[in-house]
Amino acid sequence: MRIDVVTIFPDYLAPLDLSLIGRARRSGLIDLAVHDLRDFTTDRHRTVDDTPYGGGAGMVMRPEPWGRALDHVLASGGPGVRPRLLVPSPGGRRFDQAMARELAAEPWLVFACGRYEGIDERVQVEAAERFDVTLVSLGDYVLNGGEVAVLAVTEAVGRLLPGVVGNAESLVEESHEDGLLEYPVYTKPPSWRGLDVPPVLVSGDHTRIATWRHRQRLERTAARRPDLLAPASAAPVEDLEIVP
Ligand code: 6GU
């Protein structure tokens, strides 16, 4: 997968050199480039913002550097390729595991990181002629810019690409992959500060272990995230069928 990020804070994306995503980049599974929006300004002060028409607080990102930056990114791709342009915004579509899977199927993602009060509206209108534009939000709270969203989305999407996570099995029994939270996990020692590992886990009975784990997932989801349980199954945990 190819990923381009346009930002005024390229250093903010430094963590993408680390860990799983860093390794995937070095092995060629992810081709990721970060572009400094200020490289696409033409004035001595490398200005990217200005006061809003109509008045009001804060500054708005001017369209010209964005237009040039997006032209530059697009020109580096093959002819006829329409990348997915993701614009991080608190007013965007809420990012979740289903959207991570959707984006993992794309060949090319481009992130446009706004700062200040946002990017001149005409940028996304004009970009829609050449990109499939999606506004994306991490949740209902306010960040200072889109860079943290790029880190979160790139990690969630990147780990779904074939070969990025070593053990493909560790992808399936995750929280949110099938709508339930994960079961609790334990390792050695068997007793720690007076707390014992649940005996079923050391019983060697794999059917009982699978049943116990499934029930734990249902109970945790009902207790911590009842919104994840479909209305039809939002019954008391006691009534839920156990399907190991
Ligand atoms: Cl994607 N951007 C900003 N600025 N704030 C946010 C967000 C994104 N998601 C939640 N809050």
Q: How far is residue 114's CA from residue 224's CA, in Å, rounded to a whole number?
A: 33
Is 140 assigned a ligand-binding role in the annotation? Answer: yes
User: 69: how many CB neighbours lie within 10 A of its CB?
Assistant: 24
139 in a known ligand binding site: yes
For residue 35, the surrounding DSSP H or E stretch is strand 31-36
Read off φ and ψ for residue 22, nearest 5 degrees: -60, -45
Burial environment of residue 90 by CB neighbours within 10 A (0 to 12, 13 to 18, 19 or more): middle
Ligand 1 centroid – CA 117 distance (Å) = 11
- Specify the residue with its C-alpha closest to ligand 1, atom 6: 90
Residue-level pLDDT at 78: 75
Q: How many CB atoms lie within 10 A of CB 112?
A: 28
Query: Rg (Cα) of the chain, in Å, rounded?
Result: 23
Which residues of the chain fall short of a pLDDT of 50? none
Say how far apart CA 69 and CA 54 lie, in whole Å: 26
Distance 4 CA to ligand 1 centre (A): 18
Q: Which of 148, 150, 151, 153 to mutate to test the pocket of ligand 1 (most atoms within 8 A of CB)?
A: 148
Distance CA 161, CA 207 (A): 31
Pairing of strands 60-61, 108-112: unpaired
Q: To test the ligand 1 pocket, which listed residue (9, 61, 85, 89) has its Cβ within 8 A of the most ligand atoms?
A: 89
Rounded CA gap, 223 and 238, in Å? 13
What pLDDT, on a 0 to 100 scale, did the predictor assign at position 177? 84
Is the separation of the CB atoms in 200 and 208 below 8 Å? yes
What pLDDT does residue 167 have?
A: 72
Q: Please report the atom of ligand 1 found closest to the CA of residue 136.
A: 1
Cα distance between residue 41 and residue 50, in whole Å: 13
137: left (phi over 0), alpha (psi -120 to 50) or beta: beta
Instruction: Give the per-residue pLDDT at 158.
Output: 97
* Residues flanking ligand 1, CB < 6 Å: 88-90, 136-139, 141-143, 145-146, 149
Q: Please give the pLDDT value at position 234.
A: 52
Burial class (CB in 10 A: 0-12, 13-18, 19+), 237: middle
What pLDDT, on a 0 to 100 scale, did the predictor assign at position 27?
97
pLDDT at 142: 94
What pLDDT score was predicted for residue 175?
A: 84
213 sits in the region (left: phi over 0; alpha: psi -120 to 50; else beta) called alpha
